[in-house]
Amino acid sequence: MTALTAETATAGPVPGGTVPGGTGTVAPAEFREAMTRFATCVTVITALAGDRPVGCTATAVFSLTDRPPTLVVSLASHSGTLRAVRAAGTFAVNVLSWQQRDLADRFARLPAELRFDRVPHDTVHDAPLLEGTVTGVVCRVADCVPLDDHILVSGRVLHARVHDGVTPLVHFARRPSTPELPA
């Protein structure tokens, strides 16, 4: 196991990889590996592109504040879902259940036009909400902030629904898993 900090990175190459361009940061592969140890719920971000639902898998989602209730999602700058979110002005965050683990791959890998095939959903405040999720939250876009190759989209929460007794899908160490829920 190797550890690399910005301080040691400026001193030159380190075991396990070199620092590209002398940026003082860890190598991208090492960073990606470390991030796999951040257990996180798997979500599908959805929006309407005209009258057609679109969406993508995302794990970089967090609550910002409850005054006013606001979420932040991180979407790739080139994402078709991001284009739809910006154009529609609303989006939904769907926290997948363990039983929906196939949807994580579907919304990450399939061509955009096939992702919603036979996926049950309804529309609330002009945003698609998937059925069977742990929770679904619909937001109105408040701000979009470019950061590196992603855009952080903050959204004011317009609607939230929670389904009790549903086990969430969590990704940890590149594997789908479930948290141990209290009895």
Domains (range + CATH), the chain: 39-166 (2.30.110.10)
Q: Are the beta carbons of 45 and 154 closer than 8 angstroms?
A: no
Q: What is the pLDDT of residues 61-116, one digit of tens each?
A: 999 999 999 999 999 999 999 999 999 999 999 999 999 999 999 999 999 999 99
Q: What is the pLDDT of residues 21-47, one digit of tens each?
A: 556 888 999 988 887 777 788 999 999
**pLDDT of 121 higher than 50:** yes
**pLDDT of 1 higher than 60:** no
Burial class (CB in 10 A: 0-12, 13-18, 19+), 117: exposed
Mean pLDDT of 12-19: 47
Helices (H), ranges, 89-160: 101-109
Residue with tokens 């979009």: 144
pLDDT given for residue 76 in this prediction:
97
Tell me the C-alpha distance between 84 and 119, whole Å: 19
Nearest Cα to 86, choosing from 13, 164, 144? Answer: 144
Residue 113: partners with Cβ closer than 8 Å, 6 or more residues away: none
The band of 183, judged by pLDDT with boundaries at 50, 70 and 90, is low
| Phi and psi at residue 49, to the nearest 5° | -105, 90
Q: What is the pLDDT of residues 129-148, one digit of tens each?
A: 999 999 999 999 999 999 99
